[in-house]
Amino acid sequence: MERVQQEKGHTSPDSKFNPVFASMQNDSEDSGHRDFLDAPSPYRLKPDNSSSDEALKQIRTANTVSISPELFEKLYLTPQKPVKGDLRNTFGNPTPVALIGFLLSCTPLACELMGWRGAGGSGAATLGAYYFYGGMLMTLGGLLEFFLGNTFAFVVFCSFGGFWFTLGSTLTPSYNAYGAYASDPTKPYEGLTSKGFHASYGFFLLFMAFLCLLYLICALRTNIVFVTIFFGLFFTFVLLTGSYWRFANGHAAAAANLQIASGAFAFLACLAGWWIFFAQMLASVDFPFQLPVGDISHMIRSGSDRLQDKERYSA
Mean of pLDDT values over 22-38: 44
Burial of 128 per CB tally in 10 Å (0-12, 13-18, 19+):
exposed
Task: Report residue 84's pLDDT band, with 50, 70 and 90 as the boundaries.
Answer: low
Q: Report the distance separating Cα 68 and Cα 237, nearest Å.
A: 35
| Predicted TM-score (pTM) of this structure | 0.71
Mean of pLDDT values over 72-100: 66
Q: Report the distance separating Cα 81 and Cα 89, nearest Å.
A: 14
- Do the beta carbons of residue 69 and residue 80 sit within 8 Å? yes
Instruction: Look up residue 67 and give its amino acid.
Output: I
CA distances from 266 to 1, 145, 229 (A): 91, 24, 8
Closest listed residue to residue 96, CA positions, set 69, 77, 109, 110: 77
- Do the beta carbons of residue 168 and residue 131 sit within 8 Å? yes
Tell which wins on pLDDT, 184 or 40: 184
Report whether pLDDT(159) > 90.
yes
pLDDT confidence of residue 286: 86
Q: Report the distance separating Cα 43 and Cα 30, nearest Å.
A: 28
Per DSSP, what are the bridge partners of residue 295? Answer: 223
Task: Report residue 57's pLDDT band, with 50, 70 and 90 as the boundaries.
Answer: very low
pLDDT confidence of residue 62: 36
Which range, of 91-95, 140-144, 169-173, 274-278, averages the lowest pLDDT?
Answer: 91-95
Q: Which residues contact 266 (CB under 8 A, 6 or more apart)?
A: 106, 109, 110, 113, 232, 233, 236
Q: What 3-state class would DSSP assign to 223?
A: strand
Task: Report residue 23's pLDDT band, with 50, 70 and 90 as the boundaries.
Answer: very low
pLDDT confidence of residue 298: 80
Residue 93: count of CB within 10 angstroms of its CB: 18
Helices (H), the chain: 2-7, 52-58, 69-76, 95-113, 127-129, 136-148, 151-171, 195-219, 224-248, 252-284, 303-314
- Do the beta carbons of residue 291 and residue 281 sit within 8 Å? no
Per DSSP, what are the bridge partners of residue 223? Answer: 295
Q: Report the distance separating Cα 237 and Cα 261, nearest Å.
A: 10
pLDDT confidence of residue 307: 74
Q: Which residues contact 196 (CB under 8 A, 6 or more apart)?
A: 181, 248
Tell which wins on pLDDT, 93 or 49: 93
